Chains A and B, each alone.
Chain A
């Protein structure tokens, strides 16, 4: 069993969560179709440190996770609005 530290529910089995995908900039209200297609489908899909949206299914709680996609390590988890999120992925947060 792999444990994910949920900011709301504490340490829980990772099977209780769903990965919603990498954090990417959302197109503005005047963005064109091409920009939306890019946002919806294209992925950076990095090998290494990534920042992603995750959901705790039972409580419907969305938060952010820093993960290493090579070593399968959870590096940090954040509530939305956590001041540590000011730093871009991979910098400023302890790993």
Chain B
């Protein structure tokens, strides 16, 4: 046992809290961020660190990182399909890889490699396409055949007699899993050290406007003036935007996931199959984290369905038949904001000083650092950097969408 840990165990002092205790609301903040999830906290941190804007408030209706930051399947990758998407997520992966050091907080970044299985000729074609786009932009991805797949993941059922035999895979070595809560806590602690106010149990009830300009925020604990406002409320984006008089190109749909009982480590890479609607990885404590496609119709409820579990388990057994006796331990759902082109919405809105971070569907967690960094830059400079400019809300009015459906983990 490390001596430091032993020493800590005998100390009479209670453990130190990571975050400062609750404070009263200030009258005015330079930037108010609605939503205390990973994205909001990361934006607050980069505003304070990169741009010296420290009079910042993060408002959270419930508790920190209790929404989709807590409900994703913690996968990080950059093997996207469009040039815009690959460049954006590649920066996210590089920020993630150094995040434990930067925040002085262990986010348990674990590089595993990421295999997207192709069971049909069409899927092989998409995988080859993605590999070429990735390589062109300096992202490590390649198309590999069954022999190489067997070397990387020997437990996978590669039989040619399976219902959907595995023909090839897109192999993306930088694919990683991360302790998702730690990302939010690390950003929150680092932001608080730099002077950011984090207000939990503070629900936003209205946006004060003057002409075409947002000037303040009304909350359940009082009102405040704001220089700029950012909404980063995955799952409630349309409802909060409505407070600001905005409509969004979003349908809100639940995404379910589950975890098995802990097993001996047998699955090093992250396995994804678009045809079987499944993605799975094994955590450090041995649980299999499994997810599938979003629910078939819009809903704001995180209820669970038998259909989801039946479908997911049937497909899991096609890939790993020996899991038949393994039990499911926990099951949950996140509320995902789906956009028509499967890309996010970031940046300015028709309402001046009101910025948006929404439409993160099923791909939000993996963008946490880059989204925070680039939105902080957008708010500080009043202009979106080239990296996120293509994801602006006005792309729908201009008919220039970023079609990422081909790189979504599973069919939707």
Contact = CB atoms under 8 A, between A and B. Distances in A.
B301 A71 contact: yes
**Among A21, A38, A42, A50, which residue has the most Cβ atoms of chain B within 10 A?**
A42
B250 A43 contact: yes
Nearest to B303: A72
A12 to B, nearest CB: 14
A3 to B, nearest CB: 13
B248 interface: yes
Given A19-B298, A69-B299, A72-B299, A37 B399 contact: yes
A41 B340 contact: yes
Interface in A38-89: 38, 41-47, 50, 69-72
A15 B300 contact: no
A34 interface: yes
B384 to A, nearest CB: 20
A80 B247 CA distance: 27
Interface in A9-53: 14-15, 18-19, 21, 34, 37-38, 41-47, 50
Interface residues of A, number: 22
B204 to A, nearest CB: 15
Interface residues of B, number: 23
* B contact face: mostly helix, strand, loop, or mixed: loop
Contacts of B265: none
Contacts of B306: 1
A34 B397 contact: yes
B128 to A, nearest CB: 31
B251 interface: yes
Nearest to A65: B297
B249 A15 contact: no
B15 interface: no
B239 A47 contact: yes
A37 B249 CA distance: 10
A42 B397 CA distance: 10
A72 B396 contact: no
Contacts of B396: 37, 41-42
Given A1-B307, A15-B307, A47-B239, A42 B247 contact: yes
B252 interface: yes
Contacts of B300: 47, 69-70
A78 to B, nearest CB: 17
Contact of B248 (A37, A43, A50, A70): A43
B296 interface: yes
Contacts of A45: 238, 248, 250-252, 298
Interface in B115-170: none
A41 B343 CA distance: 13
B249 A41 contact: yes
A37 to B, nearest CB: 5
Contacts of B301: 69-72
B339 to A, nearest CB: 9
A43 B239 contact: no
Nearest to A4: B297
15 contacts: A1-B306, A19-B297, A34-B397, A37-B399, A38-B247, A38-B397, A42-B248, A43-B248, A43-B249, A45-B238, A45-B251, A45-B298, A47-B252, A70-B300, A71-B301
Interface of A: 1-2, 14-15, 18-19, 21, 34, 37-38, 41-47, 50, 69-72
Closest 10 CB pairs of A and B: A45-B238, A19-B297, A41-B249, A41-B396, A47-B300, A42-B247, A37-B397, A72-B301, A69-B300, A70-B300
Interface of B: 238-239, 247-252, 296-301, 303, 305-307, 340, 396-399
